[in-house]
Amino acid sequence: MGTTLLLGLDIGTGSTKCVVADTRGHIVHVATRSHGTSMPRPGWFEADAENLWWAETVSLCADAVAAVGADNVAGVCVSGLGPALVLTDDQLRPVRPAIFYGIDTRAEGQIAELNERIGEDEILRVCGKLLSTQALGPKLLWVRQNEPEVWAKARHWFGTNAFIAAKLTGAVALDRHTASQCDPMYDLRKQDWSRWAAEIAGHLALPHLVWPTDEVGRVMADASTLTGLRQGTPVVAGTVDAWAEGFSAGVRSPGDLMLMYGSTLFFVQVLSDVRTHPMLWTTAGIEPGSITAAAGMSTAGSLLNWVQEITGHASFDKLVAEAARVPPGSDGLVMLPYLAGERTPVFDAQARGVLAGISLQHTRGHLFRAAYEGIAFGIRQIVDLFEVLEAPERIVAVGGGTQGGLWTQIVSDVTGREQLVPAQTIGASYGDALMAAIGTGHVPPDTNWATDFEVVSPDPGRRARYDQLYDLYRDLYPATTPVVHELAAMQIADADLLDL
C-alpha cells in the first residue's frame, strides 16, 4: 500500500506553485512555474485563465504525478490570487482575460453606482466592509456595462481556485471566503448570497457555496488524461491565496494576525466574532463559521522589483547588503509606496508614489532601504487599525519577503512589534495540501502543521528615529494628493490617447 499524499496548488500573481505533502506535513515534492501579468491600461491587471493558469495546473500536476505516483495522491486543493473574476461559457472556456483583485482599479464608477443605489452604511452592515477596488461585485457590473458582447457569451463566473476546481471536476461552486469578497453580493452574518447578488449577476447563476475545506467533486476523465491525476481523486474547494497561506502558518485562532510579504502586502487577522471597521475588510474565514478581517497594500515586492530594475538589475542579495549599510531613516529619505494606487488605508486608485527628501548624497542602497521603510510605515498604519478592531495577540510573517531578514527586521523596528516567521515558509500551496488532508478526512480538522518559528524582535534603539519619520510619512499623502491626482489624470489621459 502506498503513502497517502496530498497535492496543493497555488496560482499567484507571479507564479504557480505545486506542493505534495504527506499527512504529517512532510514535503515530498515541490515545483514552480513563473509567469507575468497583463496590464493593458493603467490600473488594469489581467491574466489568461485558460492558457496560463489552467495550462500551468496541467503541467505541474503531471510533473507531480510522475514524481510520486497517481495512486498515492489522495486529494487535491487549489488556492489562487483573489478575489479574481473569471467569466466562462457553458463549456468552462473563458470569454475574456481574468480580472485581478484590488490592484485592478477599473470599476471605480461601478463602486460609486452601487454605493449610491444601496448606501454605504447598508453595505458595511450586511457585507462587513465598504466597497473598494478589492470588491468583485463592481467588476462583474463593469463587464456587464462595458463589454456587452462578452457578457452575453458568459454563463458562469468563478474565482481563481473555483475555476481550476471546475476544470478538474465540472463543479460550479465558490468557497464562502471568496464569496465574502464579492461585495456587495454576500451577506456575512447569514453566510449566504445577499439580496443584491442576483441583480448584479444578471443571467449568470450564483455558484453553490461551500467552505474552503469542503470537497467539491472528483477529477473527471478528461482532466485525468491531461493532468495524470487518477480519475475520481477528490478535489477540495480551496480559497484565496492569502488565507491559504495564513492557514499554512497556523493563523487560525482569534488574535492571530498574518503579514504576507509578497508582490503586494496582505494582512489577515482571525476575529472572535463579526466586527467591522470602515478601513478593513471583514470576511468569512477558512474553517466553517470562522470570521477574519483583512487589509491590503497594492505594492510590496513589486516595488522592490521596480527599484531593482531602474537601478541596474543588481542581484537582490547585493541590494539588501547595500540597504543594510544605510542607517535607519535612509539619511532623511522617505518613500510613499503608492506606485500602483493604494488600497488600505487610503483606498485611492489615483494615488501615486512620492520620494521625499532625495538629494545627491543618496545612493541605490538608500533608495532600496527607503522602499523597505515606506512599506513598513504603511504596515504600521494598518496594524494600528487592527488594534482598534480587535487587538492582535500574535503576528506571523509569511511569504518570500521574509527571507534574508532585513525587511522583517525593519518592519519590527518601525512597528515596535514582534513577528514570528514559520520554519516552513513554502506558502499557500502548503496550506492547500493541509486543506486537502482535512477535506478528505485523512487528518482531523484541528491539525496544524506549523509548529516551529523564528522570532524577529524590534530594536528599541531605533524607535525614536522611526517614530519621527512615521509622522512625516503620514503627512506625506494628504500634502501631495492634489499634485499626484493631477499627474495620475495625465497618465490616464495619455493612455486613452494611445488606445485611439
Q: What pLDDT digit, counting tens, does each position of 227-260 carry?
A: 999 999 999 999 999 999 999 999 999 999 999 9
| Per-residue pLDDT at 499 | 61
In 327-373, the DSSP E strands lie at 334-336, 354-356
* Helix, strand, coil share (%) of the chain residues, nearest 5: 40, 20, 40
Amino acid at 237: A
- The separation between CA 11 and the C-alpha centre of its own chain, rounded to angstroms, equals 10
CA distance 173 to 81: 17
| Banded pLDDT at 500 (limits 50, 70, 90) | low
Strand-strand pairing, 265-271 and 291-297? antiparallel
Q: What percent of the chain has pLDDT over 70?
A: 99
Per-residue pLDDT reduced to its tens digit, 284-339: 999 999 999 999 999 999 999 999 999 999 999 999 999 999 999 999 999 999 99
Dihedral of the CA atoms 387, 343, 297, 267 (nearest 10)?
40
- Is it the case that residue 493 has pLDDT exceeding 90? no
**pTM of the shown model:** 0.86
What's the pLDDT at 425?
A: 73
Arithmetic mean of pLDDT, 268-278: 94
| pLDDT tens per residue across span 193-225 | 999 999 999 999 999 999 999 999 999 999 999
Query: 457 vs 426, which has greater pLDDT?
Result: 457
Helix segments in 157-293, DSSP class H: 160-169, 176-179, 197-201, 221-227, 241-248
* DSSP designation for 277: -
Percent of residues, the chain, with pLDDT higher than 90: 90
Mean pLDDT of 433-461: 96
pLDDT band at 452; cut points 50, 70, 90: confident
Q: What is the pLDDT of residue 494?
A: 78
pLDDT category at 423 given cuts 50, 70, 90 is: confident
- Distance from CA of residue 203 to its chain's centroid? 28
Question: Regarding predicted confidence, which is higher, 369 or 343?
Answer: 369
How confident is the model over 105-125, as a mean pLDDT? 96
> The C-alpha cell of 332 is what?
532623511
Q: What is the pLDDT of residue 451?
A: 86
Helix axes 406-415, 364-389, angle to 10 degrees: 50
pLDDT of 497 above 80 = no
Residue 186 has pLDDT above 80, yes or no: yes
Q: Are the C-beta atoms of residues 480 and 354 closer than 8 Å to each other?
A: yes
**8 A C-beta contact, residue 127 and residue 134:** no
> In whole numbers, what is the pLDDT of the chain averaged over residues?
95
Q: What is the DSSP letter of 113?
A: H
Instruction: Give the per-residue pLDDT at 42.
Output: 83
The predicted pLDDT at position 1 comes to 42
